[in-house]
Amino acid sequence: MRDRVVQTAAKLILEPIFEVDFKDCSYGFRPGRSATQALEAIRLRGSGHKGNFVFDADIRDFFGSLDREILMERVKRRVSDRRVLRLIWMWLDAGVMEDGRETKLLSGTPQGGVISPLLSNIYLSFLDELWTKQCAQYVKLIFKRLRLELHPDKTRKVELTDGNEGFDFLGCHLQKRMSGRIWENERKRVYFLQRWPSTTSVKRVKERVKELAPNNACHRDLRETIAKINPMIRGWGGYFATGNASAKFKQVDSYVWMRLRKLMRRRKGRNLRPGEMRRWTTKAFYQLGLHRLHGTIRYPGQAQLPRSERSPVSRMREIRTYGLNGGLTHVRRETEEG
C-alpha cells in the first residue's frame, strides 16, 4: 500500500511533464481522454473517401517486453533528478508477487503498477514521433529499435474501401457502410465508418447476464434479479451508446427478456397454465424496472479535444522557443493587462 501511494504521488508529478510530448493521436491511459474519444476520432478519419486502409496490429507481451535501458533513456530526456530516476528503476526491478512469492522480472514493467501505464506511454511515444515523420512503412524498423515484436497472428492490413472488411478495436467492430439516403437522393456511393459492439463484447455481456440470472434464481423475486442485472446492462450500454449499436442493443434486450422468461417458466413448473407465457412480454418486464438498451443511442460530440483541454505547454518549452519574456505566459499577461 505504501508503495502504491508513492507511485501515485510520482505519477501526479511526472504526468504533466511528459504530457506535453505526447501526440494528439494518443488516447490510452491519458488524463481527460477516453476510449469513446479514440473511437470517434477513428470514425471521423475513416468516413467518406478518407482512411480506406487500417493497420490492425497487436504487440506481443508489451508490458513484459519493454527494454528498461531504452525506457530510462527516454525518461532522462525530461527528468534529471537522480532520486526520482532511482525510484523508477526500483519499481521496474521490484518484480511481482505470485502465490505469496516474489518473482523477479528480467525485462518490462510490472502490470498493475500505478505508474506502469505512464511509463508505457513514455516508451511508445517514440513510435508516434517517428510514425508522424516516416509513416507506417518503417513500422517494423521502429519496433526493432524498441526491441518489441508485432504479434504475427494479430497483425494485418484491413481494406475498408467498399465495406467488405472491418476490424475490432476497444470492444467495438468498425466497418464502412454505404449511406442509403445519399444513394437514394444523389445516386452516389458514399461510405461512412460505423461501429457497434464486437461479437466478443456481445458474447461476454450475455454470459454475464446468465451469471446474474442463473437457473437456480427462479425461486427469487424477479425484481431482485432485475436489480442485479440493471447496473451491468446500464454500464455496458453506456459505453457503446455513442456508436451504431441499435441492432446489437435489440439483440441483448431480447436475450435478457428470454432469460427472464425462462426463469419464470422454471418457477411455474407444472403449474404453468396454457397461454400464461403470453403475458410475460417485454413491456411487463420493463414495468418491473428492467433497463432497456434499445432507444438509448446518442450521437457523440467531436472527438477532437478542445484546445483549452489539451496538454498544457510547459514553461520550460516556452522559454526554449520564445525566450524568458515570450510564449503563452507573455500572451496571457498582455491579455490581462489589456
* DSSP states along 152-213: GGG-EEEE-TTSS-EEEETTEEEEEEE-HHHHHHH----EEEEEEE-HHHHHHHHHHHHHHS
Q: Based on the fold, state whether residues 143 and 90 are members of the same structural domain.
A: yes
Which one is predicted more confidently, 228 or 334? 228
Q: Please, which residues bridge with residue 174 across strands?
A: 167, 195
Beta strands in the chain (DSSP E): 53-56, 96-98, 101-103, 156-159, 166-169, 172-178, 191-197
Q: Based on the fold, state whether residues 91 and 207 are members of the same structural domain.
A: no
Exposed e or buried b for every residue in 171-189, given b needs 16+ CB within 10 A?
bbbbbbeebeeeeeeeeee
Inside any domain, residue 146:
yes
CA distance 301 to 27: 16
Model confidence band, residue 148 (pLDDT cutoffs 50, 70, 90): confident
Q: Based on the fold, state whether residues 24 and 78 are members of the same structural domain.
A: yes
Task: Mention every residue, 6+ apart, whose C-beta is less than 8 A from residue 102.
Answer: 95, 96
Name the amino acid, one letter, at 176: K
- Picking from 170, 196, 222, the residue at the C-terminal end of a domain is 196
Q: Based on the fold, state whether residues 99 and 168 are members of the same structural domain.
A: yes
Q: Based on the fold, state whether residues 14 and 121 are members of the same structural domain.
A: yes
Average pLDDT value for the chain: 77
Inside any domain, residue 297:
no
Inside any domain, residue 15:
yes
Q: Based on the fold, state whether residues 144 and 236 are members of the same structural domain.
A: no
Q: Angle at which helices 222-240 and 246-268 pack, to 10 degrees? A: 170
12 and 118 Cβ atoms separated by less than 8 Å: no
Inside any domain, residue 218:
yes
Inside any domain, residue 306:
no
CA distance 328 to 23: 19
Q: Based on the fold, state whether residues 168 and 283 are members of the same structural domain.
A: no
Inside any domain, residue 98:
yes
Q: Domain containing 145: what range?
A: 1-196
Q: Which of 28-42, 140-154, 237-251, 254-268 has the lowest mean pLDDT?
A: 140-154
- Picking from 272, 288, 304, the residue at the C-terminal end of a domain is 288
CA distance 283 to 100: 51
Q: What is the mean predicted confidence (pLDDT) over 68-93?
A: 88
Name the grid cell of 264.
Answer: 419464470
Inside any domain, residue 308:
no
Name the amino acid, one letter, at 319: I
Q: Please, which residues bridge with residue 175 across strands?
A: 166, 194
Determine the pLDDT at residue 229: 92
Name the grid cell of 219.
Answer: 425461486
- Quick: pLDDT tens for 189-205: 777 788 899 999 999 99
Percentage of the chain beyond pLDDT 90 is: 13
- Picking from 168, 196, 224, the residue at the C-terminal end of a domain is 196
pLDDT at 318 over 50: no
State the pTM of this model: 0.57
Inside any domain, residue 334:
no
Q: Based on the fold, state whether residues 97 and 130 are members of the same structural domain.
A: yes
Sign of CA dihedral 66, 69, 75, 78: negative
Q: Based on the fold, state whether residues 21 and 160 are members of the same structural domain.
A: yes
Q: Based on the fold, state whether residues 114 and 220 are members of the same structural domain.
A: no
Q: Based on the fold, state whether residues 160 and 225 are members of the same structural domain.
A: no
- Quick: pLDDT tens for 256-285: 998 988 888 887 777 777 777 777 788 888
109 and 98 Cβ atoms separated by less than 8 Å: no
118 and 22 Cβ atoms separated by less than 8 Å: no
Q: Based on the fold, state whether residues 110 and 177 are members of the same structural domain.
A: yes
Q: What is the DSSP letter of 272?
A: P
pLDDT at 135 over 90: no
- The CA-based angle 222-225-227, given to 5 degrees, is 110
pLDDT at 113 over 90: no
- Structural domain count of the chain: 2
pLDDT at 311 over 70: no
